[in-house]
Structure 1
C-alpha cells in the first residue's frame, strides 16, 4: 500500500495549489457527466454526490465512513444532507484542511479500519483511494488479491446486512501492456512511458486488473449491485482540472516558487509534477486504464 510518505508526496506537497485551483474542499476524483459535457465541473461533481447519496442511502440520521476522504467534499455533502460523516486519509495536509471546515477526519490507514476503530456505519464510500491500497511490490509478491480481500473483510465488519459500499476506482484497461514493458526509460509518448510516469506521480500505488478483480475479491462479503464505466467522464474531468491548475494567480505563482528547491533537487518531483503532459488522461484515452463506479451490498 502507498504509505504516509507516498501520500504526502502526491497530495500534501502541493496541497495549497490543489486548494487554490479546485477550492478549499478540492474534489479530486472523477466527476459524473454521464456524457453531458455541457455541465460545469461543479455540476458534474454534484451529480456524482447525488448518485452516491442515492445508491448508499445518505439521509438524516445515518452515519457514513469515507475511506480516503481527500479534502472532504463528500463529507461536506453528507453533512449538508443531515447525516454524519467520518473520514480517513494518510495526507496530513488533507486532514488539516478537512478539520478547518469542521469535518471529522483522522490520519489513519484505510486498510486497517474496522468496527473497533470508529464503531459501526450505515454506509461506506471510497472515491479514488482504492488505487493506493495495493503497491506494485505487493502485486509482484502475489498478494494483490489478499490485500483487497482483507480490505473488504474489514469493511464488512462495519456494516449491517444489506449495508452498502460505494467504490470509485481506476483499473487497468483492456489495452494495458505487459508490466515488464513499463519503464520511464521507454520512448517518450509510448504506452510504456505514460504508465511509468503515472507510477512516479502516485508512488506506492497499483491498480486492480479490471472491475473483475475488485468484484471477485469483494466476495463473499459483498454482492455487486451496480457497475458503470466512467472513463469518458474522467477524461473530461482531467481536462477541467488541467484548465484550473493552469490558471495563473499571484498566490499560485508564489506557491510554485516555494517548490523550486524541491524541483531542483528531486528528479521524482520533476517527473511527477512538471513533465508537461497528463499521463492519466492519455492512459484513459488509449484505454490502458479504465474507471469504474461500483455499488456493493453486504450479504
Structure 2
C-alpha cells in the first residue's frame, strides 16, 4: 500500500541535526512503516545581507573568494545532485544515497529579509528498525559529509503501528456546543524543523470514500504547525480531481479550525498540494496557529466537497 495511505509510528520527532555557518539541517519528522522509513528534512543557507552594489564591489576587490569544495569520501566522484544529498549506511558501512520523492526549494529573501535559500525534501528509505546511520553531504558549498546516528522504533512497534487510514480508529466526536466561526491566518510561517512533534498520526474523519488524517502536529515555541492529509476514492475522487485542476481551479481541501472557548478559528492553509487520477485523489495541507493553553488541542475538521461535515477532535498534547 502507498505510504501516504498508511499510518505509521513517529520515528523522529524533529529538531536540528546540524548547525554550521554554511548550512543548518533539521528533521521535520520521520515516520516508520513496515513498507519503509519516510524522512522529511529542511536545509537552510544563510541570508546574504549584501545588496547588488556591495556584491559587485566585493567582486571587483576580489573579496569574494571561491567556496572551498568539501572532499568526497562517501559520495561517488560524480553524481547528479545539486543540493543536499541524503543517504544511509548499510551494515557494511557503505553509503546508500537516496533522491527525494518530493522536493521543494526557495531562493530566499533579498538582503533586507530574514531567510536565506532553503531546500526541503521527503525521502523514503527501506524499512529500518532500532537505529539509522543518516548521511548528509553538500560538497559544492563546503558542507562536509556528516553521519548522524538516530534511534528508531523496533520492528514489533512498527508492525503494530502500521495501519491503513481506511481501517484505523477514528477520533471524531459530534459538535454539540454552538460555536462562532472566525476565519484567520493565525500565525506567521514557522521554522518547523526547530520544533518537536507532539502527537502520533491518526485518522480524524472518514466516510466510505473520503478520509482526513492528522499526519503531523509540531510545537515550535508558542506556535503549532499542523499537517492534514485528505484522500478520496471512486467517483468522488474523479469529481475532486476535475475541480482541482484546469480549467475549474475550484478545489478546496479539508478544512481545519482551532476551538478557543466558544469560537472556531478556521485556519487558512499556508501550503497545499493535491494530485488525482484513476479514481484516486489526495491532498496535503499545512496550517500554523498559536499554541493554545491546556493539555488538549480541540479541533473542528470538515471536508464539505467530499461530504464530510464538521466534527470535533480532541488531541492530547
- Same fold judged by TM-score > 0.5? no
Higher strand share: 2
Of structures 1 and 2, the one scoring higher in RCO (CA 8 A, sep 6+) is 1
Q: Which has the larger radius of gyration?
A: 2
Bigger share in helix: 1
Q: TM-score, normalised by structure 2?
A: 0.27
